Amino acid sequence: MPSVKNPYEAVIVGAGIAGAAIAKALKNNNISNFLVVDKGLGPATGTSAHGHALCHPYIGRGASRLQRLTFLAFKEARDVWGKHWCGQGVFHLPRTQEGFTKQIMSERLLSQGFKFDMAMPMDQAEANEKIGVQSGGTFFPEGGWVNLEQACHEVFVEMAPEQKLWATKLRKIEKVDGQWMLWDDQDQLIASTERLFLANGLGVKDLAESIDISLPLKPVRGQLSKFRFSKQSTWAQHLPRYALSGKAYCLTPEEKGDEFEWVVGSSYDEEVDDLNVWDSSHAENKALIKEMLNQALHDDELKVKDAFVGVRCVASDRLPIMGPVKSQPGLYILTSLGSRGVMWSALASQMFTEHLAYEKNHSAFLDARFFAGARLAAAGLDSVLAEALLPARFFAGVSNSKPILPSA
Ligand SMILES: Cc1cc2nc3c(=O)[nH]c(=O)nc-3n(C[C@H](O)[C@H](O)[C@H](O)COP(=O)(O)OP(=O)(O)OC[C@H]3O[C@@H](n4cnc5c(N)ncnc54)[C@H](O)[C@@H]3O)c2cc1C
């Protein structure tokens, strides 16, 4: 174990998809002397322990920060996690059909930068014929889902055993003589490093508090249901041909003998961190997907086969927190990925790659800005968007409900 005198070049806390994204950024910069620490017994034992994370850009009414960021992040997600990409398109249904027309949606998509081959609005008749659903919506041909668990394993399996410290819960961090010190929950000093990345979901809140930084993070419980239904059931007569998203989401049903298996998600319980499976969440997922399919379907034909329960980490402004921490050189955060772990982790991986390259080239820490690099800047990542991600947006100290964007 390296001592205080023998520090790591970098330490990542958390081996979920956020930690995996950072490990990629370190490797892209030829930083190999780094350690990953996780309280689990291996990678992806937290919220990233599932294989069904849907991904497509967000469409809002206007070009909001969220819309512009997901527009960029979706492309990065295809690059960063492409090896683990499944499915061949996602059909997105608006929350209500009221006011939805193909014409209005086409204009909105164009104004938000989508080309027709990226996002195709469809009216009800087209959706019925191509997708197999009775409602208009928008088809994302490149949308799909990612196996987060596999993606994490692939990144961490490549690392040498001495770079991975499992079953170790960190309790406290502290900066001493230019090095970040890490203590576990037994008060043992476990490592020191020049660069510390906090990528441990909700656990970032406690570690940040140990150096008097308060972040408005909260848990949001979610349950994915794996249902099964027979080939003779009403559900089998109305199979969607693509993954769907909207009030709920589902993947394409998988044929298993004389049945289909079907992943449907995800309930959304704010301020709840209970990891037990709830019957009420299965019922909620079933009701929402039935509403989306808009057909005469018999509830009792859909049987529960399995479930995944996880706790999302969400910031008060619903955006991810990523980047260097102002006035704390060598400290970086990546958390609050909410329900968009695929996209935000990919964007972060690319931004940290550029940021670290800049810091290395200039032999200095750049803690007040998140350096995005020329490629992402040319793709539209301007300073307003980069600053909207920074931890410093919450450093005003008065109210956390309205984030204050740094002016420089
Ligand atoms: C039901 C459900 C459905 C979802 N569907 C989608 C979807 O369709 N599309 C999508 O993009 N996203 C989806 N998400 C969100 C996605 O799963 C998360 O955004 C993502 O997994 C978060 O990754 P993470 O690395 O930040 O957190 P985690 O995977 O939880 O990783 C954090 C790690 O930190 C470790 N840790 C915590 N505290 C400490 C500590 N003090 N010391 C050491 N280790 C610590 C934990 O053990 C854990 O391994 C869904 C989430 C849920 C719950």
- Residues 158-207: tens digit of each pLDDT: 999 999 999 999 999 999 999 999 999 999 999 999 999 999 999 999 99
Specify which residues 335 forms β-bridges with: 321
- Cβ atoms within 10 Å, residue 49: 16
| Residue of 13, 22, 37, 47 best suited for mutating to test ligand 1, as the one with most atoms within 8 Å of CB | 47
> Which residue minimizes the CA distance to atom 32 of ligand 1?
200
Q: What is the CATH architecture of 91-143+221-313?
A: 2-Layer Sandwich (3.30)
Which atom, in ligand 1's list, is nearest to the CA of 203? Answer: 38
- In this structure, what are the phi and psi dihedrals at residue 403, rounded to the nearest 5 degrees? -65, 145
Which atom, in ligand 1's list, is nearest to the CA of 338? Answer: 19
> How many angstroms separate the first and last alpha carbons of the chain?
40
- Residues 347-393: tens digit of each pLDDT: 999 999 999 999 999 999 999 899 999 999 999 999 999 999 999 99
* Report field, pTM of the whole predicted structure over 0.75: yes
> Which residue minimizes the CA distance to atom 7 of ligand 1?
53
| Token pair 């994490």 in the structure block, residue | 152
> Which residue minimizes the CA distance to atom 16 of ligand 1?
341
- Residues 265-288: tens digit of each pLDDT: 999 999 999 999 999 999 999 999
Residues near 304 by beta carbon (within 8 Å), at least 6 away in sequence? 225, 226, 227, 282
Q: Which residues of the chain have pLDDT under 70?
A: 1-5, 396-408
- Under DSSP, is residue 37 helix (H, G, I), strand (E, B) or coil? strand
The ligand 1 site (C-beta within 6 Å) comprises 13-19, 37-40, 45-48, 53-55, 148, 169-170, 199-201, 203, 222-224, 265-266, 308, 310, 312, 335, 337-342
> Which residue minimizes the CA distance to atom 21 of ligand 1?
48
Check if 10-49+149-216+318-394 and 91-143+221-313 are the same fold: no
Report the phi/psi class of residue 183: left, alpha or beta, with left for phi > 0 and alpha for psi in -120 to 50: beta
Task: Give the pLDDT confidence score for residue 40 in this predicted structure.
Answer: 98
Task: Give the pLDDT confidence score for residue 95 in this predicted structure.
Answer: 87
- Cβ atoms within 10 Å, residue 95: 8
What does the buried/exposed string (b/e) look like for 256-294 if buried means 16 or more CB atoms within 10 Å of the residue's CB? eeebbbbbbbbbbbeeeeeeeebeebbebbbebbbebbe
Which atom, in ligand 1's list, is nearest to the CA of 18? Answer: 25
Say which amino acid occupies 271. Answer: E
Task: Give the pLDDT confidence score for residue 121 in this predicted structure.
Answer: 97
| Residue of 200, 209, 225, 334 best suited for mutating to test ligand 1, as the one with most atoms within 8 Å of CB | 200
Tokens linked to 209: 């508090």
Ligand 1 center–CA 16 separation, angstroms: 6
Assigned superfamily of 10-49+149-216+318-394: FAD/NAD(P)-binding domain (3.50.50.60)
Ligand 1 center–CA 308 separation, angstroms: 12
Give the domain ranges of the chain.
10-49+149-216+318-394, 91-143+221-313
